[in-house]
């Protein structure tokens, strides 16, 4: 019996020595506890439900203020060299003699005419004049016009009549005294083009100045309508000058033309039409014909006349 106990004691000592100390062992996790569920005893009446709590109304949150950085404007710089320039071995040359045929060019003249309650013309303002060389003659014609006056609430009033005059300009072949073709180089300053867009684009951009003592045409029941419109056939004979930037292609033809200046804007359409038949000697680059931009300056003597084809009364102040 003592022998058996000794063996068991030795075994227990060996197990105790092999096991880690009690404080080094991780204690076992306690079993998860379950939420107790109340169960009513049989036959017991159900417990009355607790009254619902009143909803709590929270104040609306204050608006969140966001800090927005102001937009940053990029700092740009103009190119150091003219982008229209092309390096060439030989520049383009104009033909020895330019010819421009007679032509009839339709154009429009916009004018504002102050009309008194009796229908008389009091003043004339040229709102858009394509032929300023004929200003004196066109002004004299318009001052003789008579109108059915504008009316508001059935009564004649003083107002400004807004008119579009469709003209036919007959331009004779000019006598060229100077034809100058200058190549655009990297150092050539870029000029401001002559702003003479379409009539519709101009009309949409009109912002007439306020005129005291008159009623704007937009507020009238009926606008002032011309009933007598004498028009003396205006004519001009004298010097002219136009300047274009033109792109001359490898075949010597003008592909593009940008007007820079013109003594009469109506001449822009005339010379653009004449350019269609002009043949230049193209520039040469790397041994071949090349397309280049050039400044074309034309001046000399010209004559033209205008006739009035139709008049339109506009419901827009000019």
Sole residue written with tokens 């009035």: 308
- Please indicate, yes or no, if residue 81 is contained in any of the structural domains: no
**Structural domain tally of the chain?**
1
Please check whether residue 137 lies inside any domain of the structure: yes
**Residue 82, in any domain of the structure:** no
Evaluate whether residue 276 is within a structural domain.
yes
78 falls within a domain: no
Q: Is 195 in contact with 265 (CB distance < 8 Å)? A: no
| 3-state secondary structure (DSSP) of residue 281 | strand
The verdict on residue 186 lying in a domain is yes
Q: How confident is the model at residue 64 (pLDDT cuts 50, 70, 90)?
A: low
Q: Has residue 155 got a pLDDT over 90? A: yes
Closest C-alpha to 248, from 81, 91, 89? 91
Is 85 a domain residue? Answer: no
Per residue in 68-106, pLDDT (tens digit) is 566 667 666 666 788 898 889 999 999 999 999 999 999
Q: Average pLDDT, stretch 33-58? A: 48
Average pLDDT over residues 253-266: 96
Q: How far apart are CA 97 and CA 134, in angstroms?
A: 29
Of 1-15, 98-112, 238-252, least confident by mean pLDDT is 1-15
| CB-based burial, 254-268: b 16+ in 10 Å, e otherwise | beeeebbebbbbbbb
> Whole domain around residue 158: which residue ranges?
103-209+221-308
Say what the pLDDT of residue 56 is: 58
Q: Is residue 47 part of a domain?
A: no
Q: Tokens for 300?
A: 């000399």
């Amino acid at each position: 019996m003592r022998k058996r106990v000794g063996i068991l004691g030795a075994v227990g000592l060996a197990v105790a020595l092999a096991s880690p100390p009690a404080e080094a062992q991780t204690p076992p996790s306690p079993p998860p506890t379950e939420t107790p569920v109340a169960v009513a005893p049989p036959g017991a009446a159900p417990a009355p439900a607790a009254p619902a709590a009143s909803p709590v109304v929270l104040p609306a949150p204050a608006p969140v203020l966001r800090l927005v950085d102001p937009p940053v404007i990029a700092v740009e710089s103009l190119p150091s060299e003219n982008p229209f320039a092309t390096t060439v071995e030989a520049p383009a040359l104009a033909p020895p003699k330019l010819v421009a045929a007679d032509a009839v060019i339709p154009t429009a003249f916009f004018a504002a005419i102050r009309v008194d309650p009796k229908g008389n013309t009091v003043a004339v303002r040229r709102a858009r004049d394509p032929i300023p060389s004929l200003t004196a003659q066109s002004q004299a014609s318009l001052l003789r016009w008579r109108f059915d006056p504008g009316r508001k609430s059935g009564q004649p009033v003083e107002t400004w009549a807004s008119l579009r005059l469709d003209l036919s300009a007959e331009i004779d072949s000019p006598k060229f005294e100077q034809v100058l073709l200058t190549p655009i180089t990297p150092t050539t300053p870029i000029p401001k083009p002559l702003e003479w867009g379409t009539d519709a684009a101009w009309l949409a951009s009109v912002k007439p100045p306020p005129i005291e003592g008159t009623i704007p045409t937009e507020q009238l029941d009926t606008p002032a309508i011309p009933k007598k419109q004498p028009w003396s056939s205006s004519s001009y004979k004298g010097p002219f000058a136009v300047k274009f930037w033109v792109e001359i292609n490898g075949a010597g033809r003008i592909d593009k033309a940008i007007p820079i200046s013109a003594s009469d804007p109506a001449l822009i359409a005339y010379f653009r039409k004449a350019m269609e038949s002009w043949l230049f000697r193209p520039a040469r680059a790397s041994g071949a014909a090349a397309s280049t931009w050039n400044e074309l300056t034309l001046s000399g003597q010209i004559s033209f006349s205008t006739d009035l084809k139709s008049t339109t009364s506009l419901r827009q102040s000019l």
